[in-house]
Structure 1
Amino acid sequence: MTEAGRNGARIPLSGLGLFLRSFLFFWTDPERNFRRCRRGQYLGLIRLMNEFGFVYDDEDRRFYFSQYGQDKFVAEHLFPGMRNGVFVDVGAYDGVTLSNSCFFEREMGWTGLCVEPIPDVFRELVSNRPGSVCENVCVSNVEGELEFARVEGVEALSGIADRMDRRHRRRIEGEGGRVEMMRLPSLRLQTLLDRHGIDRIHFLSIDTEGAELDVIQSLDFERTRVDVVCVENNSGERNVRRHLKRNGLAYLLTLGDLDDLYVRAGR
């Protein structure tokens, strides 16, 4: 037996062979093998990759920021060594804490768009991410103003009020957060992309505490090419997967039981 994972989960040594095979799976013929993923082949192998590794060691924490190793996995296995890519981070918070995009800006020279609706958190974002374009709005498929629930003391759990499900509200209560209702401006994601001339996104990260489907529906995939999507899926929303599949993005795996990764075959 060998140790693996943040919680010391044990995996038989026979799994190591499968783990090593997984690298060949990705590197030998990515386009063909991602198509095989879409047909449901090798899913067990990919899930083993998730269980076996992609957690941070002490050295990693100097560079990576994500909660469950999302940035490390995407960087090492979907965009190995790629510099000067483009990211879009919807629900960027302060740009550093548990950020899925900070590594790409600071270490790989990527540029992109970070979106955070809470005004004082947005000021921290601007300070922390000088290489990004930052927007202080909600993202939804409705433009105008929306009721936004700010969770004081646990701002990362804040979100559009009518998109928070009961489980998320219980989580807020469990964290001891107090909700303050705010009216905040909202724009479609495609509106923001058009504003900044973005028509190709290598890595799209969405963490909006319940409004993820709205964000995805506000993007015109015929006008904007997206290669990889990381979307938080607290509620098990199946329509996110259906919508992305219709637009050429296949489910790859889930990291940390919360964040689903989708990949465009043949990118």
Structure 2
Amino acid sequence: MVRVQRLKVNGMAKKFLLLGVALLLAGACGVGAFLGYRAGKAETFHTFIGIEDHSEQRNYAIRYALGLEEFQGITGQDLWVMHSVHPGVTDGFFVDLGSADGVTISNTWALERKGWTGICVDPFPRNMEGRTCQVFAEAVDNVGGRTVQFQDPGSYSGGILEYAGWWVSQETKDNAVEVKTATLSDILRRGNAPSYIHYLNVDIEGAEYMALSEFPFDEYEFGAITIEHNGLEDQRAKIRELLVKNGYRLEWAIRDQDWYVRAGTSGDISATER
């Protein structure tokens, strides 16, 4: 009887041992798959934004896989600014129009972690507690001090109703709220922004052209500008004409994004669309 009980115990121990080994292997595979996914994502983004050196791609991919470097830009805007336009810069200044969430799909969160400072502008900012930038809770327009209807407040697609496009439903229009406008130049002055700003991001749901149309480009210079156009081709063309006139050239056109640099900025490819 004792021998039978011992055999049963030994059998159970072996089963638990095998189960433990299986769980360890599954965990290791899961960790490996997760790290592989992160490395692949990073390498894809670096390729996407024009970093062609394979050793450089691999280095960034490994750092991202291990959690030593993070990015949040939905199409790699932050990576492009950090590694292609301003490589090695740790004291840059940014301005983020339509910053929305301070972390999730933020184009400036990673820059701030690198030591950059700047200004985030959104009439309904959220998740900004861990950010060090100045926050202006205002809607940007070509004229300051106006009271306007703002659709979908607090969301990623919120914006001034009169400039919004096809993506706004009637229900959303009916639930718009009133906000005050400010001009970009006024915000920069109040925020003591430098005359040279390394990066400007503009994502304000149809109001992009109006926000830039009266801007004093002779007072401020931008190293890089990323602008969402939402497929509004007439507005996109007007923005491009405005920026080219003021000394910028299109560097990348990706999905619903146009990315510009100063016309004198060196680069392997100019005005390339992907």
Q: Decide: shared fold, TM above 0.5.
A: yes
Q: CA offsets, 1:80-136, max 9 Å, x none?
A: 111100000000012111111111101x20101000112xxx2533x131x101101
- The residue aligned with 1:100 is 107
Partner residue, 1:12:
none
2:163 aligned residue: 163
Residue 189 (structure 1) aligns with: 184
CA distance in 2 between counterparts of 1:226 and 1:156 reads 24
Q: Does 1:242 align with 2:238?
A: no
Provide the secondary structure at the position in 1 that maps to 2:176. Answer: strand
Match of 2:209 among 207, 213, 222: 213
Q: CA deviation at 1:59?
A: 5.0
Contact 2:161–2:173 (Cα < 8 Å) also in 1: no
Letter in 1 for 2:84: H
Is the CA contact (8 Å cut-off) linking 2:72 and 2:78 kept in structure 1? yes
**Percent identity over the alignment?**
28
Task: Give the 5 Å matches for 1:76-225.
Answer: 76-106=83-113, 108-118=114-124, 122-125=125-128, 127-129=129-131, 131-151=132-152, 155-166=155-166, 168-169=167-168, 180-198=175-193, 199-225=195-221
For the structure 1 residues 58 and 142, does the alpha-carbon distance in structure 2 shift closer, same or farther, using more than 3 Å as the test?
A: same
Structure 2: stretches of 5+ with no match in the other structure = 1-39, 54-60, 266-274
Relative to structure 1, the CA distance from residue 246 to residue 179 in structure 2 (aligned partners, 3 Å threshold; closer, same or farther) is same
> What SS does the aligned partner of 2:127 have?
helix
The 8 Å contact of residues 147 and 181 in structure 1, kept in 2 or not, is answered as no
> What is the rounded CA distance, in whole Å, between the counterparts of 1:61 and 1:197 in structure 2?
32
CA RMSD across the alignment: 3.1
Matching residue of 2:263: 265
Cα distance in 1 between the residues matched to 2:174 and 2:71: 30
TM-score, structure 2 length as denominator? 0.68
Q: TM-score scaled by structure 1?
A: 0.70
Q: Give the length in aligned residue pairs.
A: 211
Q: Do the aligned partners of 1:149 and 1:159 also contact (CA within 8 Å) in 2?
A: yes
* Residue 60 of structure 1, CA deviation: 7.1
Give the Cα–Cα distance (whole angstroms) in 2 for the partners of residues 148 and 211 of structure 1: 13
**Deviations along 1:190-226, whole A, 9 cap, x unmatched?**
0111112212211000100100111222421101111
Aligned partners of 1:83, 1:229: CA distance in 2, in Å?
18
Residue in 2 aligned with 1:31?
none
Which one has the bigger strand percentage?
1
Residue 43 of structure 1 is matched in structure 2 by none
Q: Distance in 2 between matches of 1:143 and 1:184?
A: 11
Larger RCO, structure (CA 8 Å, separation 6 or more): 1
**Amino acid of the residue matched to residue 118 of structure 2?**
G
Could you list the structure 1 runs, at least 4 aligned residues long, displaced by more than 6 angstroms after superposition: none
Q: What residue number does 1:37 align with?
A: none
8 Å Cα contact 2:151-2:159 kept in structure 1: yes
Instruction: State the secondary structure of the residue aligned to 2:90.
Output: coil
Task: Give the counterpart letter for 1:223 in structure 2.
Answer: E
* 2:56 alignment partner in structure 1: none
Q: What are the equivalent positions in structure 2 for 1:56-95 lying under 5 Å apart?
A: 58=65, 63-95=70-102
Give the letter for the 2:130 counterpart. Answer: N
Distance in 1 between the 2:121 and 2:68 partners?
Answer: 24
Separation in 1, partners of 2:68, 2:250: 27
Secondary structure of the residue aligned to 1:141 is coil
Which has the greater radius of gyration? Answer: 2
